[in-house]
Amino acid sequence: MQVQQILKSKGTDSVVTVKPGTSVIDAARILAEKRIGTVVISSNGTKALGILSERDIVYHVARTGPSVLTDKVDTYMTSNLVTCQLADSADSVLERMTNGRFRHMPVVEEGEMVGLITLGDVVKARLSELAMEKDALEGMIMGH
């Protein structure tokens, strides 16, 4: 299974982005409103400059205090982004997420973001693929 199929099964390829200079509290409001775990920082909506996750916010507020909330997302985002491409396999993405200990990955083609997949998206897609394989094997064994 490829990233392309995972994105298709999600039904949306839109990525929630905020511009550099956005405050952390505004980013947190977007996370809460949309019930998501990360925002991608981008000036034009397609070139990813960094990612800010709920974990970053919790970590920095706990360490520094509530003043973090009025700082800019740029200060706390992870700019060393790990991305994937449409043709990458689900297994390779799972491996990179597990090794890097993060749950989100922008999908980038020729420098432009074309979607974002989460650990949950990949696990769900892999489980349904495994269930189909199991049914097919059972069918073969039972002679259906």
CB neighbour burial string for 26-44, b if at least 16 within 10 angstroms, e if fewer: bbbeebeeeebbbbbbbee
For the chain, give the number of residues.
Answer: 144
Single residue of 78, 85, 86, 129 touching ligand AMP by CB under 6 A: 78
Q: Per CB under 6 A, does 86 bind ligand AMP? A: no
Single residue of 1, 26, 37, 45 touching ligand AMP by CB under 6 A: 37
Q: Residue 4 has what DSSP assignment?
A: H
Cβ 79 vs Cβ 49: under 8 Å: yes
Q: Which one of the spans 65-73, 75-83, 85-93, 121-129 is the region binding ligand AMP (CB under 6 A)?
A: 75-83
Q: Per CB under 6 A, does 42 bind ligand AMP? A: no
Query: For residues 19 and 45, what is the distance between their CA atoms, to the nearest angstrom?
Result: 8
Smaller CB separation from ligand AMP, 105 or 144: 105
User: Could you tell me the two tokens for 63?
Assistant: 């360490």
User: Could you tell me the two tokens for 87?
Assistant: 């043709």
Q: Per CB under 6 A, does 104 bind ligand AMP? A: yes
Q: Which one of the spans 3-11, 27-35, 78-86, 124-132 is the region binding ligand AMP (CB under 6 A)?
A: 78-86
Single residue of 51, 68, 90, 117 touching ligand AMP by CB under 6 A: 51
Q: Residue 66 has what DSSP assignment?
A: G
Residues that bind ligand AMP (CB under 6 A): 37-38, 51, 53, 55-56, 78, 81-82, 102-105
